[in-house]
A and B are shown apart, each in its own frame.
Chain A
Amino acid sequence: MTTGLNTLGKIFLRREAGIAVMIVLFCLAVGAVKPQFLTLDQLRIILLLTPLIMIGAMGQMLVIVARHVDLSIGSMLGVSAMVSGMLYRYDATWFGLDIPWWSGIPISIVVGALLGLGNGLLITLFRLPAIIVTLGTLSLYRGLTFIISNAKQIDRQWIPSELKGLSQTSPILGIPWIIFIAFGVALLTWLFAMHTRVGRQIFALGSNPVAAPLRGIKVTQVTLLVFAISGALSGLAGILYASRWGFVNPSNTGSGFEFQVIAAVVIGGASINGGIGTVLGTVLGVLLLGCVSAALPLLGIPGTSQAAIYGAVILVALVIDRTVRQRGIVSLKRARA
């Protein structure tokens, strides 16, 4: 039994090492064709592409570990960014109150958490499949962004310069704040998932939803929490979207975000059958996606092919996930025999 678990452990270790090797090989291959890919400047570009996806991916990873999926994160990102955007916009014209620039950050997080809680309530109260509920709320929340904003874009001049500064100024080494925030979220997620009781319960719930309540895990609360976290992190990604791009558009902001994030999480080795997923793997998955997106323009591949590459990457990751899982099962059986 122990040998079986060891081989399993080794496989998962190899899984993350595998992604790291893929990143290195990919960068070397692109660097061989275009040497400017292997410069510090390019590293900065890659890192700047990733923070939003990384924050979203941490929430999505927990959702996928709990054997659900959340398709509505792009729309939740849009709504929470829009709520803060409207606050900034009317701060100047209506209230005359001096609303501090950072107030959008907690507001977006709370709005996102509430929307995520809405998903969780529908899923747990009525025992509905998460995929269909979040497909519905994907459209519902997207409609909300239009209603809140009256279908108008929040332009550059409304967004406080301090907020925009988060993705331009840097505390140290020329690395912008936004990247520190993203890695901070990843670190907190690691602490939460690996070193708290509730965090471990998410894994237990995902690996065996039938056994989990028998072991005293409060399935409803854990599920609600997971969806609320996913919503809250989408909210954080929403305000950082406003910071990074300097505008909030009711139709564009966050649309397609769910596919990038799911691609990153699935590449990172989280199993869609629940119970398996690591923060390190997800971070590496996000970085690999970042490298791919940064390499496309250098190699002269048009940006229009990005969606196709994301789709192909999801499918390839699924196939790899399956082969790894089967090998794990085989080695377990061999260890038992």
Chain B
Amino acid sequence: MSTLDTTPPQDTAPVRPRWQTLLIRPETMTLILLVIGIFAGSQLSPFFLDVSYILRSFTLYSELAIVALVLTMVIIVGEIDLSPAANMALSACVFAWAQASGVPIPFAMLIGLASGLAMGALNAFMVIGLQLPSIIVTIGTLTLYRGLAQVLAGDKSIRVPEWFIGVDKIMLAGIPLPVVLFIVLAIGLGIVLGGTIFGRNIYQIGTNEIAARHAGIRSARIKAGLFLLVGLVSAVAGIMTASRLGSVRYDIALGGELQMVLMAMLGGTYIFGGRGTILGTFLAAWLLVIVSTGMIVANVLPAVQLVVLGSLLIVAIIATNLIYSRTQR
């Protein structure tokens, strides 16, 4: 191979037509499911297709969806973070506790955000500094953060001032503020992940970290940055939840890690890293809201909803794994 050989090797598959590559993308699957979901929902109840109803239901999930966007990047880089839901609870408790003990709200919010960042930093230190597997580390920090929230708030709920309540009632062009925030963050992160060198680096680390490091990518720095970002965004989401609910308890977003991972998986993010898009998670968040509100409209028991969410997660990973193993051939 000393001379330049531009002819491709014999055993590569012929290039597929563009429509075919688009069709086998996992996001297409999510989009089709979303359309089916909306259609099925509209059959269940005539009120379902009301846009403001769907937007209002989405605000209930918007905090988790915002974190899921960043979590998607963490999964693409080849790690996982199960602690953001507990992080949301602890930073909301820190915030509420600070303002209840007399700190002005803006400073209390800063303290809450700082605590979220600190939690992200602890994850980053354990995973990148000490080279421990992120799965088990974040199971530990999940327990720790939720436990600390319980220590801080006890079994009581901490109230926040009247004027602070209702971030979900603020409308921008008819869309609730949390949903606007979600859409803006999705566009921003989508551009970063899909259109910048930094974003491509994330994919490269997730595909083959050793090769990426040999190519001069500072993988440790990028990974640590993503863990910090998850921590910070979780704190934002936690404070938003506090404003939406009007009071803070330690069990805010309990079990939310399942729904966040579910959003990423439903959107076609590959659990072993290297594949996935923000668009997929964006669509999956809407899909999850449609399915959940559909079940509420159809009067499905909350217990059955647990079963449906759990099965959806498993079906989603099986489907994305199958799609990717097909395209590998």
Residues in chain A within 8 A of chain B (CB atoms): 69, 71, 122, 126-129, 131-133, 135-147, 151, 250, 259, 262-263, 266, 272-273, 302, 304-312, 314-315, 318-319, 322
**Chain A: CB-nearest residue to B150:** A304
- What 5 A-B pairs are tightest by C-beta distance, nearest first? A311-B144, A308-B147, A146-B303, A140-B310, A307-B147
Given that A305-B150, A307-B146 are contacting pairs, would A128 and B255 also be in contact in the complex, using a CB cutoff of 8 Å?
no
Given that A143-B305, A146-B301 are contacting pairs, would A133 and B151 also be in contact in the complex, using a CB cutoff of 8 Å?
no
B residues near A302, Cβ cutoff 8 Å? 151, 154
B145 adjacent to A311 (CB under 8 Å): yes
Q: Which of B145, B146, B318 makes the CB contact (< 8 A) with A128?
A: B318
* In the assembled complex, B66 has its CB within 8 A of some CB on chain A: no
A127–B82 alpha-carbon span in the complex (Å): 21
B residues near A147, Cβ cutoff 8 Å? 301, 303-304, 307
A308 adjacent to B144 (CB under 8 Å): yes
Contact with A along B144-170 (1 / 0, CB 8 A): 111110110011000000000000000
A140 adjacent to B306 (CB under 8 Å): yes
A138 adjacent to B310 (CB under 8 Å): yes
**Chain B: CB-nearest residue to A64:** B136
* 10 A-B pairs in the complex with CB atoms less than 8 angstroms apart: A126-B318, A131-B80, A132-B317, A143-B306, A266-B136, A272-B136, A305-B150, A309-B147, A312-B147, A322-B131
Instruction: Report the minimal beta-carbon distance from B133 to chain A, rounded to whole angstroms.
Output: 6
**Chain A: CB-nearest residue to B305:** A143
B residues near A263, Cβ cutoff 8 Å? 143
A319–B131 alpha-carbon span in the complex (Å): 10
* In the assembled complex, B252 has its CB within 8 A of some CB on chain A: no
A178–B113 alpha-carbon span in the complex (Å): 47
A259 adjacent to B139 (CB under 8 Å): yes
Q: Which of A131, A273, A308, A322 makes the CB contact (< 8 A) with B151?
A: A308
* In the assembled complex, B311 has its CB within 8 A of some CB on chain A: yes
In the complex, number of A-B residue pairs with CB atoms less than 8 Å apart = 146
A306 adjacent to B307 (CB under 8 Å): no
A314 adjacent to B126 (CB under 8 Å): no
B261 adjacent to A315 (CB under 8 Å): no
B residues near A136, Cβ cutoff 8 Å? 258, 310-311, 313-314, 317
B317 adjacent to A311 (CB under 8 Å): no
B135 adjacent to A146 (CB under 8 Å): no
A137–B258 alpha-carbon span in the complex (Å): 10
Given that A135-B258, A140-B311 are contacting pairs, would A319 and B130 also be in contact in the complex, using a CB cutoff of 8 Å?
yes
* In the assembled complex, B321 has its CB within 8 A of some CB on chain A: yes
* In the assembled complex, B137 has its CB within 8 A of some CB on chain A: yes
Q: Which of A126, A142, A304 makes the CB contact (< 8 A) with B321?
A: A126
B261 adjacent to A135 (CB under 8 Å): yes
A71–B303 alpha-carbon span in the complex (Å): 19
A128 adjacent to B306 (CB under 8 Å): no
Q: Which of B140, B265, B310 makes the CB contact (< 8 A) with A139?
A: B310
B residues near A151, Cβ cutoff 8 Å? 301, 303
**Chain B: CB-nearest residue to A318:** B132
A145–B306 alpha-carbon span in the complex (Å): 10
A272–B137 alpha-carbon span in the complex (Å): 10
A122–B321 alpha-carbon span in the complex (Å): 13
A65–B160 alpha-carbon span in the complex (Å): 47
Instruction: Report the minimal beta-carbon distance from A277 to chain B, rounded to whole angstroms.
Output: 14
* In the assembled complex, B248 has its CB within 8 A of some CB on chain A: no
**Chain B: CB-nearest residue to A131:** B135
A318 adjacent to B140 (CB under 8 Å): yes
Number of interface residues of B (CB under 8 A): 47
Given A135-B313, A143-B303, A318-B126, 9 more pairs with CB closer than 8 A? A127-B321, A137-B310, A138-B258, A266-B136, A308-B148, A309-B147, A311-B143, A315-B137, A322-B130
A127–B272 alpha-carbon span in the complex (Å): 11
List CB contacts (< 8 Å) of B313-329 with chain A.
313-314, 317-318, 321
A262–B258 alpha-carbon span in the complex (Å): 18
**Chain A: CB-nearest residue to B319:** A126
Given that A126-B321, A318-B140 are contacting pairs, would A311 and B146 also be in contact in the complex, using a CB cutoff of 8 Å?
yes
Q: Output the residue of A135, A137, A259 with the most chain B CB within 10 A.
A: A135
A133–B271 alpha-carbon span in the complex (Å): 11
**Chain B: CB-nearest residue to A72:** B310
Contact with A along B204-216 (1 / 0, CB 8 A): 0000000000000
Instruction: Report the minimal beta-carbon distance from A115 to chain B, rounded to whole angstroms.
Output: 12
A307–B254 alpha-carbon span in the complex (Å): 14
A131–B255 alpha-carbon span in the complex (Å): 15
Q: Which of A139, A262, A309 makes the CB contact (< 8 A) with B306?
A: A139
**Chain A: CB-nearest residue to B151:** A305
A residues near B272, Cβ cutoff 8 Å? 129
A315 adjacent to B126 (CB under 8 Å): yes
Instruction: Report the minimal beta-carbon distance from B28 to chain A, rounded to whole angstroms.
Output: 21
* In the assembled complex, B33 has its CB within 8 A of some CB on chain A: no
A272 adjacent to B133 (CB under 8 Å): yes
Instruction: Report the minimal beta-carbon distance from B324 to chain A, rounded to whole angstroms.
Output: 12
Instruction: Report the minimal beta-carbon distance from A141 to chain B, rounded to whole angstroms.
Output: 8
B residues near A133, Cβ cutoff 8 Å? 314, 317
B residues near A71, Cβ cutoff 8 Å? 139
* In the assembled complex, B96 has its CB within 8 A of some CB on chain A: no
Given that A143-B307, A307-B143, A318-B137 are contacting pairs, would A129 and B258 also be in contact in the complex, using a CB cutoff of 8 Å?
no
B residues near A309, Cβ cutoff 8 Å? 147
Instruction: Report the minimal beta-carbon distance from B252 to chain A, rounded to whole angstroms.
Output: 15
B313 adjacent to A310 (CB under 8 Å): no
**Chain B: CB-nearest residue to A309:** B147
List CB contacts (< 8 Å) of B270-317 with chain A.
271-272, 301-311, 313-314, 317
**Chain A: CB-nearest residue to B265:** A132
B307 adjacent to A140 (CB under 8 Å): yes
Instruction: Report the minimal beta-carbon distance from B68 to chain A, rounded to whole angstroms.
Output: 14
* In the assembled complex, B142 has its CB within 8 A of some CB on chain A: yes
